[in-house]
A and B are shown apart, each in its own frame.
Chain A
Amino acid sequence: MSATSAPASSLTKAPTIAEALTSGTRPPRPTPLSTSVTFGWRALLKIKHVPEQLFDVTVFPVMMTLLFTYLFGGALAGSVQDYIAYLAPGVLVQSVLFITMYTGTTLRTDIDRGVFDRFRSLPIWRPSALVGMLLGDAVRFAVASGITAAVCLAIGWRPGGGVVGVLAGIGLVLVFAFALGWIWTFLSMILRTPGAIMGVASFVLMPLLFGSNIFVDPSTMPGWLQAWVEVNPVSHLVTAVRALMDGTPVGAEAGWSLMWSAGLVAVFGSLTMWRYQDPQ
C-alpha cells in the first residue's frame, strides 16, 4: 500500500503539531495538594455536565428524613415535634454515610472507561486522584447535609447549638464520610463491577447505620445489640453530632469519631494504594 492517499484537506497538519510539541516546555512538578485540588475540580466539572449526579444527594436525604420522621415519630416519641429533636442529627449522619457508597461505583466506572489509566500514568503524587475524588464528593455530601438540615428545620427542628453547632456537626460528619470513602475506593480496586461494589457496600453499611443509636435510644435493645451499638463507630459519631447540634457538652465521643476516621484512612487508604499499583 502506498502513502499517496494522504488527504490534502487533512484537519491535522504536521507542522502545527510539531510547533505544539516544541513549545511544550515542562513546568515544575505540582505539589500533592495542587494535584488533589485539581482532581476535586474535575469532580465538580462532572457535576456541571451531569447534574443528575446530584439526584442522590438531594432527593434521597429529603425522602429519608420525611419517611423516618413521620413513620416513627408518633410511635417512638409521641409526636413528630419531639422525635425530630432526637432524629435530626442522626438522619443527617444516615443520609450522608449512605450516599458515600456511590464513591466506589463512580471510581469503578472511571477504571473501566480507561480514564484512570491516564491518571495513573502521570508523574504526580499517586493518591491525589483518589483524594481529589473524595474532596469533590465532600462537596456533594455538604449539599446533602444542607438539604437534610433544611428539611428538619422546616418540620420543626430547633437545634440548641445554633448555626455554629449545626455547622460543627456537619463538619464532623464530612470528616468521617471522607474516611469511610476509603473503604469504597478499596472495594472498587478489588471488585470488578459497580453492582458488586454496591452489594458489598450495602452489606457493610446496613449494620453500621441501623445497628446504631440513629433512630432509637439503645436502652430498649437486648444486651447483645446494645454491645454492638456501643462499639459501632457510627454511634460515636451520632452521639458527638447530637451534642454539637444540641449545644450540650461533647465529651470523648468527638475524639472517638476522629480516631475512627484516622484509623479508616490509615488502614483502607493503605490497602487502596497497595491495590492501586495493580488494580483488577
Chain B
Amino acid sequence: MPELAIETSGLTKIYGKQRAVDGIDLAIPSGGVHGFLGPNGAGKTTTIRMLATLIRPDAGSARVLGHDIVRASDEVRSCVALTGQFASVDEDLSGRENLRLLAKLYGFRGKAATARADELLGAFGLEAAADRQVKKYSGGMRRRIDIAASLVVTPELLFLDEPTTGLDPRSRIEVWDIVRALVAHGTTVMLTTQYLDEADQLAGRISVIDSGRIIAEGASSELKASVGSGSLHVRVMHRADLASVREILVRELQIEVETTSDPHGLVAPLEDRSRVTAALTAIEGSGLELAQFSLGQPTLDEVFLALTGHAADGSDSDQAPEEVAA
C-alpha cells in the first residue's frame, strides 16, 4: 500500500462563478480515519466526489492510493468505495437484491453473489429486513445497508460522506462502531462530517474546510491547542444571577467572559488556569448558585469559531447550486 492514501495539489472545482473547491492541498497517510470537517456548503462533498472520480476537477491534480484521479480513474475506482450523503442504493429494490446486484457487478457469480449478500446482511444485522424494499427501512438501517453496499469487496480506502447526518444517537454509535471495525481491518477511511464530536470520536487527523479552502489541519488535540489552553464553562442555577456571576469571573480571571447560546451559560477562554479555583470560590462566597461548571480543552466548535470567525452550523446545502438536492 502506498504511504499516502490521498495526495492533492491545488484541487479545484468551479460551478458557474462559485469556486466550490478552491485549491485544496492534502497529504493523507494510509490507515486510520481522516476527518474532513466543515459546515454545509464548505466543499466537502465536492472534494470527495472528485477523489472518488465521480466528477472531474477543473484545475489541480490528485492521486488516490498512488493513482491519478483523471488519468487512472479506473484504477482508483477498483480500490476505493463510496458511501454518499444520499442513499446510494436502489430504494425500489430489497436489501438483499441491492447487495446481490453489487456482488454481481464486482464479479461474484450466481450462488457466490447470493452468499456474499447474505453474509453482509448477517454482519450488519439486516437479515430480518433483507427482503423488504429499502425505501421502507429506518434511517439507521438505511445507513447500514449503504455502508454494507460499499464493503461487498473490501476497499483499501472508503469515503464516508456524512454517514450519521439525520441519525438518532443509537444509530450514530452503531455507525461509529462499524467505522472502528473497518479501521481495525486496515481500511483507510476518509470521513466528512459537520459534527465536531464525530470527528473528535473517530478521526486521528482532521482537515478543517471552509468556503472551498483548507483552513487548518492536524490532530484533534493540536487543533484545540492552537486556540488556547481551554475554556471554563459555567452554567448558573438561576438566570437572574448570570450578570453577577459574569462580573465576578471577569474580575477574578481578568479576561473577557462571553455568553453562549444557552441562556444560563457563560464561557471564558483561558490563557492560564491558575486563577480558576479562586474565581469559583468567589462565586460561592457571594451566595450565587452554579448548576455546573467544567474546565477542559476547547471543543471543536470553539476551534471552528476561532478559525473561521463563524460558527460551524451553516444552514445552506452542501450541494453546489447546479446540483439539485433530491
A residues apposed to B, CB below 8 Å: 1, 3, 5-7, 10-14, 16-24, 26-30, 34-35, 38, 41-42, 45-46, 49-50, 110, 112-115, 117-124, 192-193, 277-278, 280
Say yes or no for B240: interface residue by CB 8 A criterion: no
Query: Which A residues touch B169, using CB under 8 A?
Result: 5
How many residues does chain B have at the interface if contact means C-beta atoms less than 8 Å apart? 67
Q: Is the CB of B133 within 8 A of A27?
A: no
Query: Which A residues touch B119, using CB under 8 A?
Result: 20, 23
Q: What are 5 A-B interface contacts by the 8 Å CB criterion?
A: A19-B123, A21-B154, A21-B187, A114-B88, A121-B54
- Shortest B197–chain A CB gap in Å is 5
- Shortest B144–chain A CB gap in Å is 7
A20 and B152 alpha carbons, distance in the complex (Å): 9
Query: Which A residues touch B86, using CB under 8 A?
Result: 113-114, 117
Query: Which B residues touch A46, using CB under 8 A?
Result: 90, 92-93
Say yes or no for B80: interface residue by CB 8 A criterion: yes
A123 and B185 in contact, given A11-B125, A14-B180, A17-B124 (Cβ under 8 angstroms): no
Q: Is the CB of A49 within 8 A of B133?
A: yes
A18 and B86 alpha carbons, distance in the complex (Å): 25
Q: A53 — nearest CB in chain B belongs to which residue?
A: B92
A17 and B106 alpha carbons, distance in the complex (Å): 19
- Shortest B49–chain A CB gap in Å is 8
Say yes or no for B278: interface residue by CB 8 A criterion: no
A112 and B326 in contact, given A18-B184, A24-B151 (Cβ under 8 angstroms): yes
Query: Which B residues touch A120, using CB under 8 A?
Result: 53-54
Q: Is the CB of B173 within 8 A of A121?
A: no
- Shortest A67–chain B CB gap in Å is 31
Query: Which A residues touch B78, using CB under 8 A?
Result: 29, 123
A25 and B181 alpha carbons, distance in the complex (Å): 17
Query: Which B residues touch A22, using CB under 8 A?
Result: 154, 185
Q: Is the CB of B84 within 8 A of A114?
A: yes
Query: Which A residues touch B89, using CB under 8 A?
Result: 115, 118
A23 and B149 alpha carbons, distance in the complex (Å): 15
Query: Which B residues touch A124, using CB under 8 A?
Result: 105
Query: Which B residues touch A29, using CB under 8 A?
Result: 78, 107
Q: Is the CB of A1 within 8 A of B88?
A: no
- Shortest A118–chain B CB gap in Å is 4
A277 and B107 alpha carbons, distance in the complex (Å): 23
With A5-B173, A30-B107, A193-B324 known, 17 other A-B pairs at CB within 8 A are A1-B200, A6-B173, A7-B173, A17-B182, A26-B153, A46-B90, A50-B92, A112-B326, A115-B89, A117-B86, A118-B82, A118-B89, A118-B149, A120-B53, A121-B82, A278-B56, A280-B323
